[in-house]
Amino acid sequence: MADRRPTLADVAHAAGVATSTVSRAFSRPQRVNHRTRERVLAEAERLGYVPNPAAQALESGRTRTIALLVPDITNPYFSGVIKGAERGAANAGLTLVLGDTAESSAAEAQLVRRLERAVDGFVIAASRLTDDELRTAATRTPITLVNRATAGMGCVVADYDSGTHQIVDHLASYGHRSFVFVGGPAESWSGARRWQGLQAAAAERGMEVRRSGPYLPTLSGGPAAADAVLASGATAVVCHNDILAIGLMRRLAERGVSVPGEISVVGFDDVFGADFCHPTLTTLAERTEDAGRRAVELLVTQVPLRQAGGPTRVLPTQLVVRGSTGPVTSM
């Protein structure tokens, strides 16, 4: 068997040419005679030659690898981003390294340091780093961001302006005149954007909106949020994300409050589960898979050019109306 893997030199020897010719046969097709190239490729195929990525990376400085950093791999919101990034990387012939930053900015910074020599660029989702930290890191290795806009860097964000309008319009159509925003973590960039959008949309509609929280963006954050909402007498709530919304609905059910009969509930993300919780959840869907893919594409365009900064891509959002919202009951 292959006691030793064939190298460039083996192929060169077999084809009767120099290693440089073999190398160029692969990387610069037009730099070598058509017939020579054929021969080299045939030999390479016959020997089962596969280039050694480490050696390629050493000389060229390119690893053909990019890293994706997410705060929590198991959060279904990021599953889509991961899948999209994986797809995008595969399409571009790149290998994807996955890093979990455990929702910690320290872990995130450490991971960036540890990987920056090993990868050609980063896609960072929901980064916890400051704008300055990000920009500093970006001077060493290209970075694009998902769900976080930082001037001068490539970013892919969801269109919350439009999305929050959709939510507000939907609630208004059911006769709601006010609602409560159940907030997530204070540091969350997307949380801030959502709240801004909701305020603006509500203002346009002349609706009243209050904010509650912050709460944990998890199922366990639900009970506290639910109780606060009940105390407020709201007819509708918009939650920081679906998980929180589901936790909240569960608590409301325990307390005998009907959804959407007495309170309408809207979430964000359209995560796995939003269509089979009870009641099914009206939520603003983001194309997370697209976001991951686009972020990789954006990164790829940056890498060769080493251009400073990058454009921001805004991805559409869609309101998915399900069972958790309904008309106001004037009791």
Judged by CB under 7 A, does residue 307 bind DNA? no
Per-position b or e across 35-72, b if 16+ CB within 10 A of its CB: ebbebbbebbeebebeeeeeebbeeeeebbbbbbbbbe
Query: Binding string to its own copies for residues 32 to 51, with x set by CB under 8 A, is what?
Result: ------------------xx
Q: What sign does the CA torsion over 323, 325, 328, 331 have?
A: positive
Judged by CB under 8 A, does residue 52 bind its own copies? yes
Residue 96 binds which of its own copies, DNA, none (CB < 5-8 A, kind-dependent): its own copies
The number of residues that bind its own copies (CB under 8 A) is 45
CB of 24 to DNA, least distance (A): 5
Rounded CA separation 82/90 (Å): 12
What is the DSSP pairing of strand 95-100 with strand 65-70?
A: parallel
Tokens of 287: 């194309």
Residue 278 binds which of its own copies, DNA, none (CB < 5-8 A, kind-dependent): its own copies
Answer yes or no: are the C-beta atoms of 229 and 180 closer than 8 Å.
yes
Q: Which of positions 19-38 make contact with DNA (CB under 7 A)? A: 19-21, 23-24, 26-27, 30-37
What value, to the nearest 5°, has the Cα angle with vertex 187 and ends 196 and 153?
80
Stretch that binds its own copies, among 14-22, 110-118, 162-170, 202-210 (CB under 8 A): 110-118
In the bound state with its own copies, the residue whose beta carbon lies nearer, of 171 and 263, is: 263
CB of 110 to DNA, least distance (A): 19
Judged by CB under 8 A, does residue 124 bind its own copies? no
Judged by CB under 8 A, does residue 76 bind its own copies? yes
Judged by CB under 8 A, does residue 11 bind its own copies? no
What is the DSSP pairing of strand 282-286 with strand 317-320?
A: antiparallel
Q: Which of 30, 35, 139, 231 is close enough to bind its own copies by CB under 8 A?
A: 139
- For residue 51, whether the previous peptide bond is cis, meaning omega lies within 30 degrees of 0, is no
Residue 33 binds which of its own copies, DNA, none (CB < 5-8 A, kind-dependent): DNA
Rounded CA separation 248/285 (Å): 19
